[in-house]
Structure 1
Amino acid sequence: MTSLSPPPLSLYVHIPWCVQKCPYCDFNSHAQKGEIPETQYIDALLEDLKTDIEKYQLIQAPRLLHSIFIGGGTPSLISPSEIGRLLQGIEALLPFEGNIEITMEANPGTIEAERFAQFQTQGVNRISIGVQSFEEEKLQALGRIHGQQEAVNAAKLAHKIGLNSFNLDLMHGLPNQTQSQALADLDKAIELNPYHLSWYQLTIEPNTLFYSKPPILPDDDDLWDIFEQGHQRLTDAGYVQYEISGYSKPGYQCRHNLNYWHFGDYLGIGCGSHGKLSFADGRIVRTTKVKHPRGYLAAYQNLVKSYLDTETLVEAEDRPFEYFMNRFRLIEPCPKTEFVERTGLALSVIETPIQTAIEQGYLTETASHWHITQKGKLFFNDLVALFVEEE
């Protein structure tokens, strides 16, 4: 294992509160009860970041911050002034790249029109709007608190105020959804002309209401037809698929997500957030933070408990799986040199699984790159499982 050159550094900020918990959501989110302690929480986030910078000695070899993603929960429940204070505090601790991408998730049912512009004034230059569907019945089934017109208005407003970019989150494969309904949703999203569309299939995750009371979902044949026809409509509308569920107009890919898929580094601050850091001595460390807001705020209030919940070393035998699980989500070819640079491993350690993947039709290979095939995308889990080290 060789030393590692630091890849780009991003920051994920988790805001845990939402108006109500959606039945499909397995994220670390908590229904709002009373007033959000936003000032105290922003203070805690900045203290959390400062603690990480000191612990991992990031200030000794300053790394410019490549992107920030404020997710949740529903971050747009936090006042624009506090979001501004957060971003100013982050920049005071870690210098920004000149063209830094700063994304914030927003729910069209929880923000007023004027707040989009206020968030933009405070430094947010990309907004991800959680639409999920434009059909009232489906929105109710998903537990969403906005209606169709609010979603439409939110997208129009994002255009009007001249955001650098904005994303619409849209799901298909919803309870009792027909092909025509799924494609009508997609047509409506395309009509709104966002720079970026995250179009993904609903999956039932453990620890959700849908898991305990499963809804009736479209069958596999319908899902495949929806994807094929939807993919063609997106392509015809000028969107490029660059990731399994990510489509963008040329030049508007999400830089933050790209850093994840390229096995880049990221700090995670806030309840239950995850981080990954590479070090010159060859170590790769993953972190998680205290999950519940009460415990997280207790760390700030008394400084006895740590914000850090877990810290684990990514061992050499686990790195191929972790790298390819991220990298093969991207449609673009994967440079062999990137594997060496990001994992610190020699190509020889993956010779056998790569050859198996090629023989099974999951990958093609040139002298310098690997490229995932259509079969590899369809059997993605089988592909990345080849890189799991056997006991």
Structure 2
Amino acid sequence: MMSSNSASYSPPGGIKAPAALQQILQQAGIAVNGTQAWDMQVHDPMVFDRILQTWSLGLGESYMDGQWDCQRLDEFFYRLMRDELDESVQGFAKVRLLYEIARSKLFNLQSKDRAFQVGEQHYNAGNDLFEAMLDPRMIYSCAYWAHAKDLTEAQEHKLDLICKKLQLKPGESLLEIGCGWGGLAKFAAERYGVKVLGITVSSEQRALAIEHCQGLPVEIRLIDYRDLTGSFDKIVSVGMFEHVGQKNYAEYFDIAHRLLSDQGIFLLHTIGSYATVKKTDAWIDRYIFPNGHLPSLVELSQALERRFLVEDLHNFGHDYDKTLMAWLSNFERAWPQLQTQYSKRFYRMWRYYLCCCAGFFRSGQGQLWQLVLTKRERQQTYLGYRPSF
């Protein structure tokens, strides 16, 4: 916290911000109670104490509590993250920062007995919410926008991109680790004639996925990946690896190696960080994705060493910004119907989540990778695929 004799800046409206915090905001082109769409509109001066004490947690919780607003939250976060000024602010919250680092080092936050926690907290939030926010197939991962005119088409292109990279053939077996609401499983079974086993840690996802895949050779199980057995021609994991955790990477890839046939292909689609980070964002961890961790390429390459060959690496991280903004637009449009089931605080939490993630990817700190992996035993040369449309 700032001392009582610290210099302060007095923005329009008379609310005073501590000078050091104000300087950081100004470096990002953000004003307190300014006129630009990305400026903070502060209603309660206690916001600054909350930010200085716990940074990310205080910033997010004070927004949820209505203590400040911002017309373009996505641009607010983009400006903070563009020059990594968010790291400067964290210096004020050293105690909390050290706690988060120690917590991630000392404990396996993604252990088997914690595996279903993210399903219960996030993915079970409500199928009506996700149906309103997502595309008709309910694909909750980055879309592929290179040749798409809208979210529905961008998600279909992403699914087809995955299937073609996997070189799926009729009659093959496909394991999907983290199947969501069954969108990819249904697409692969219908379009490519494969048999699919999809697994999830969300009971709500499983129920709807079974409904979506009725009549198709698709099985959906509520199971942790560490309990899987069998052998599969192809394996895919889309948007699930973020929940595995660095302490479990070796085990995760060992299991995938055991489950994949020698001539098979494994496609891993994951959010990543452009730099190795020691902690998870405290607000995201508490309110959105408990126990998550975004890998860096260094962490991935170390875990893959002596396990898999990297045949292809495709980065389309900026597409996640566009995907998140499309989800935000759908969510805002649906809110008049959703508000009978969800609180105003939930609305502010969800809007904050989508906007801060959009800013994360817009800044380049957030990346989206698709890795095509094979075993050394595979005898065919893998020919990479990019759509021509």
TM-score past 0.5 threshold: no
TM-score, normalisation: structure 1: 0.30
| TM-score of the superposed pair, with normalisation by structure 2 | 0.30
Considering fraction of residues, name the structure with more helix: 2
